[in-house]
A and B are shown apart, each in its own frame.
Chain A
């Protein structure tokens, strides 16, 4: 009896499990929930390659999931939609969609988000939309669910659509110009459509907000107050420690955690002389104090320069003179070659892999040195920020082998460093290879712009439109304490910004000899000192010098005590002799 009960129970359990597994991808709600949903992005782009537009989308989706796969319209196969929770179609370019794609999408039963052009070709699925011939111009975007949520934008032209024919279709975002409104993001059943083929700013902000509807994430309890961070920028060995200390005290007093973008080596462009942090013991002391009092270290390159440029001014992981990645030494002749320069495909491939190998070695060396040098001082970088935010796509991949967190904006193209953007919230775009991005969104205090702070505040206001939006900017401490106080005062006017403490997030930073992690708000460091010291004498030399200086000071102290002792003896002997025989002297 008992045995049969057991068998029945087991069968029931197995049955439930199978049911759950099967239904998981069959039953789907109008929006997606759960952790890390599977996302497939089908794109129409120039040359069928992933360019900056797809990467922008990557960054936007990366807030909700780590599982994003990109496939070009011409390459879509039936199996691509298996196990997929959300399909995005991004029609950045106009094109005739392949029949394979159309039939595959027709069979997909999950949530679909279509963006931009070509969507009418999907037929039935998006037939709730009527397409107008002319385009529409909007100056403002409003959120239909929350009446007070609106954002003014620079006039933008969008795809002009109408959904009034289908009663059940709703517009979640409306573009507005004077009294005219145009649907910007519409929804019918499980399908969404965004009426712009561009996702860059200002669309990124409104689209980011709209994605919260698609993924229906549980919003943070304190969702009303935005996240934010302040980064002290370009802190190299010759930065004035007193300014830094004053700023550290202001931030500590206000209980605002912050980031410090540290460049371990300053290179003087004229003398080529390099200064390390060990050459500035006072600054090192301040940085350690900061690290212990709300500050978190971010590695901002190793020298923040290439060729003869000055630290803080130059680019380090991008050759700005040739607008290309670092495929050569600073003094090497630069070989800018295209496919046409090579006889056959193999030779060209060989050339490309040599370039990549060079770039990898260059980045690896600098990141390794940067992390190890700082760790050797007792400063533990938790994230990476490329100088001027410039780095090749392959560079991000190499960096992801050292860091789990990237801070700043992202360069989206290997052709031009100026194709660079941000995203309104934290994200894990697939092209960062696992790195989490803490985007910088509001810019910095430009030294020669008297309205710099006002502009930052205006930028910050935009990000309030987005749930989980980040208000993040940076400041160069050489500008002084007064300006910094003004900036903080302005930012404090916002509804209670939730300042990000890097230590409270999970990070992992590693080299061969250094392993930095965060755990419960604490930095956990493992350093293989022996290995480190063996790799370069400088690491050991720093500690040895510290100990030697301490010993020398003790030596001086003991010597000084002896001097005092001898003077005391001289006085006591003279006093005694004077009493025995006043005025006696051999001389």
Chain B
């Protein structure tokens, strides 16, 4: 029985590892060709459409100034652009700062969202913003984002040239990557995520997930969908699935770059990631039970992947870990032999080389990062294991007690502090 359990867990683990192997290969191929496509689009750029940028902000005084400055620097015709900041019941200086900018710039608008309308989380704030927005294309940025000047133009170009794209997603870079070990980990993690999951899935399956910031979506689509799902914890994944259901796909364009802040303390990191994990678990629960209703069966790949990531993979890792640990003390009669050691080593090497390849594509592979990858495997990845278990328990509790979903806002850090 133990042997069978071990085999099953190994197969689940390797199913995911194989998927990652294929994805990073796709990401690599995509990295070779996207710049050429961008060049072609720029040579043949049609009239820019009207764009509304939505920035939900709840107590963002620390970072909002930088964000608005970057909006002003955007390389997009001012008469076609509106920036709507939804000040969602902030108790700090967010309202004052945004108001002062709105006074000086006609294209910057502020909505002060007060109770009872406020406090409905990011989705609620975005829905409020969407009602006021006039642009043909809606772009969303988190309040801690500083997009590069060409980011919005490149996102819009993508939607203009690809009619089947319902939304376009850009790439993000970490502003505070060199702050400490945690931000270095996150930097490496985000780079890997973008080249492996986003670019790889886009290249292989024409699939991408909206990351919550730095994306453009056709207004028509949002209207058909009735805006964001206010119940969803990770509204972006949820929105992505609904876009696919309409028959559109979401296109990844690494040429639209934004810089964002990442958590600098483990505590903040834990809360943010727990929210993501629980959000994705919510999505699995919502769609997997009625996957037959999904118009675009491609979404199943993602749902299965989520299922694999959040439940099966970690269950597999947990089971195989515990079997090996228990076997140290009690003879469990494990018959697998040398292949288990080989699998362990190869699995580790796959992790390292895949992350290195992603860093290499992003031109961030240097000795320091290369070494940090080893540390990441030993520490960061193992923390994820705990986090998933914790999140699963919280979600289980929530479903059992029928609790309300709450938005844990990610704490911001002042640049250079």
Contacts and interface: CB of A to CB of B under 8 A. Distances in A.
Interface of A: 278-279, 281, 541, 545, 548-549, 552-553, 555-556, 558-560, 562-563, 565-567, 569-570, 573-574, 577, 584-587
Interface of B: 3-4, 7, 10, 14, 17-18, 21, 24-25, 28, 178, 335-337, 339-340, 342-343, 346-347, 349-350, 353-354, 356-357, 360-366, 368-369
Contact of A559 (B3, B21, B337): B21
A570 B369 contact: no
Nearest to A551: B11
A548 B7 contact: yes
Given A549-B336, A566-B354, A556 B364 contact: no
Nearest to A553: B339
Contacts of A553: 339, 342
A570 B350 contact: no
B339 A549 contact: yes
Given A545-B3, A560-B346, A552 B364 contact: no
Contacts of B4: 541
A585 B357 contact: no
Contacts of B337: 281, 549
B336 A552 contact: yes
Given A570-B365, A585-B363, A587-B366, A556 B357 contact: no
Nearest to B184: A587
Given A548-B7, A585-B364, 18 more contacts: A278-B335, A552-B10, A552-B336, A552-B339, A553-B342, A559-B17, A559-B21, A562-B21, A562-B353, A563-B346, A563-B350, A569-B28, A569-B360, A570-B360, A573-B357, A573-B360, A585-B363, A587-B366
B356 A570 contact: yes
A565 B21 CA distance: 10
A558 B18 contact: yes
A587 B342 CA distance: 34
Contacts of A555: 14, 18, 343
A577 B363 CA distance: 8
A585 B339 CA distance: 39
Contacts, number: 78
A573 B357 CA distance: 9
A493 to B, nearest CB: 45
A151 B18 CA distance: 76
22 contacts: A548-B7, A549-B337, A552-B7, A555-B343, A556-B342, A558-B21, A559-B21, A559-B343, A559-B349, A562-B21, A563-B349, A563-B353, A566-B350, A566-B357, A573-B360, A574-B365, A585-B364, A586-B363, A587-B364, A587-B366, A587-B368, A587-B369
A461 B348 CA distance: 66
B343 A573 contact: no
A323 to B, nearest CB: 36
A138 B164 CA distance: 111
A569 B32 CA distance: 12
Given A563-B349, A585-B364, A570 B357 contact: yes
B347 A567 contact: no
Nearest to A275: B333
A278 B346 CA distance: 26
Contacts of B17: 559
Contacts of B364: 585-587
A567 B353 contact: yes
Nearest to B8: A548
A587 B18 CA distance: 30
A566 B360 CA distance: 10
A562 B350 contact: yes
B347 to A, nearest CB: 7
A556 B350 contact: no
A150 B146 CA distance: 111
Contact of B346 (A548, A559, A573): A559
Contacts of B350: 559, 562-563, 566
A225 to B, nearest CB: 47
Contact of B178 (A541, A552, A584, A587): A587
Contacts of B339: 549, 552-553, 556
B258 to A, nearest CB: 15
A156 B357 CA distance: 91
A556 B337 CA distance: 13
Nearest to B173: A586
Contacts of A570: 353, 356-357, 360, 365
The 9 A-B residue pairs with the shortest CB-CB distance, nearest first, are A566-B353, A559-B346, A563-B349, A556-B342, A562-B21, A552-B339, A570-B360, A573-B360, A566-B357
Contacts of A278: 335
A553 to B, nearest CB: 5
Given A560-B346, A566-B354, A574 B360 contact: yes
A566 B352 CA distance: 10
A495 to B, nearest CB: 49
A562 B339 CA distance: 17
Contacts of B14: 555, 559
A549 B336 CA distance: 7
B336 A573 contact: no
B343 A552 contact: yes
